[in-house]
Structure 1
Amino acid sequence: MNIQKLIDKGLKLKSYPKDSVIYEPGMQPRYVYFIKSGEVRMVTVSDEGKEFIQGVFKTGQYFGEPALLTDRPYLAFTIASRDSQIISVNKEDFFKLIENEPNFSMELIRNLSNRLFYKSMMLEELASEKADHRLLTMINYLLTDIKAGENLRVTRQELADMTGLRVETVIRGMKLLAGKGLIKTVKGKIVKV
């Protein structure tokens, strides 16, 4: 969806400073959130305060639609990972987009399918106790979205939060995977070959 179209329709941008919460578990869904600029992470937080990243949404992407479509409370926190500008689209306007924009409808189906695939993949990986296998699966999944020669723009902490591992385990795992030739690193950054 072209975010400029939403602005042209009179929908307002709202600024969210880094680390601000957009919504939290238990809240009733009222909007789908389109990111004009910035980045948002969707996380669950353990009783000990450890974050598990369920998804990361970037400029041009949107989030919050599964809860809105099913009319069920949010299950996770969404937190601005950096300063972000976001357009909140209410339920009525979101359904009009689905009805009147066939390209958007197909994009929505693809996005929901990709998220379902990601969740299924992570459930399978979390059932595996082999940290290096879990890490490799996540890295390969993230590499599909970038071009050959580009660095994977994710920190070791974010990889830990995405896989449920400790940072130290991620660091050891990256060295092990690079040593086996399963990933390529340049100056500590994972590079797509």
Structure 2
Amino acid sequence: MNIQQLVDRGLKIKTYTKDSVIYEPGMQPRYVYFIKTGEVRMVTVSDEGKEFIQGVFKAGQHFGEPALLINRPYLAFTITNKDTQLIAVNKEDFFSLIKNEPDFSMNLIQTLSQRLFYKSMMLEELANEKADHRLLTIINYLLHDITEGENLKVTRQELADMTGLRVETVIRGVKMLAGKGLIKTVKGKIVKG
């Protein structure tokens, strides 16, 4: 199921400006959100206001399924990283997609499995107190999905938010990992090599 098929079914596109909150912890799920354009981050916020990024969703992807599937409140914030267009699919329509679209169902299983793998990997890494190990693991994970020679499209701040490290630690860590030949950088950018 792609975005155009959802539009063709009469579902409306809603535009959100950068830094809009789509949903927050404790809210009851009503929709699964499909991204037409833009980008959304899922974050947990500490008592001190520090964000920990649990995931970043881009055009063509969807988010909000787990809470809707099990009818439990959301546990994190979802916030737009830039101006974003979303299609909100209600529970009835979403379950209809699962039942009637085998390709969509298989894609949903793969998507949820990928997210579960990521969360398991991050839990293991957070238990490891070595910052360089944590950083290398997340970089290798992110590099897996891009092509040879392509830049990793996350900022140092996003790497810090994903690993629970300070941005200064990430900057030092990236330099150290590149110096050891464990990652490749070109003009300060991490590159798949």
TM value normalised by structure 1: 0.99
What displacement does 1:145 show? 1.1
2: CA distance, partners of 1:43 / 1:90: 22
Gaps of 5+ in 1: none
In 1, Cα distance between the equivalents of 2:36 and 2:155?
23
Aligned twin of 1:81: 81
Which ranges of structure 2 fall in alignment gaps of 5 or more residues?
none
Code of the residue aligned with 1:156 in structure 2: it is R
What is the number of residues matched between the two proteins?
A: 193
**In structure 2, the residue corresponding to 1:82 is in which secondary structure?**
coil
Q: Residue 31 of structure 2 aligns with which residue?
A: 31
Query: Does the alignment pair 1:95 with 2:95?
Result: yes
Matches within 5 A, 1:40-189: 40-189=40-189
Amino acid at match of 2:155: T
| Secondary structure of 1:181's aligned partner | coil
Whole-Å separation in 1 of the counterparts to 2:114 and 2:35: 18
Aligned equivalents of 2:23, 2:146: Cα separation in 1: 29
Q: Distance in 2 between matches of 1:97 and 1:189?
A: 40
Partners of 2:183 and 2:158 in 1: CA distance:
17
Counterpart mapping for 1:5-24 below 5 A: 5-24=5-24
**SS of match in other structure, 1:152:** coil
**CA deviation vs aligned residue, 1:80-104 (integer Å, no higher than 9, x gap):** 0010000000000000100111000
TM-score (norm 2): 0.99
Deviation of residue 179 (structure 1)? 0.4
> RMSD between aligned alpha carbons?
0.4
| TM-fit CA distance, 1:66 | 0.2
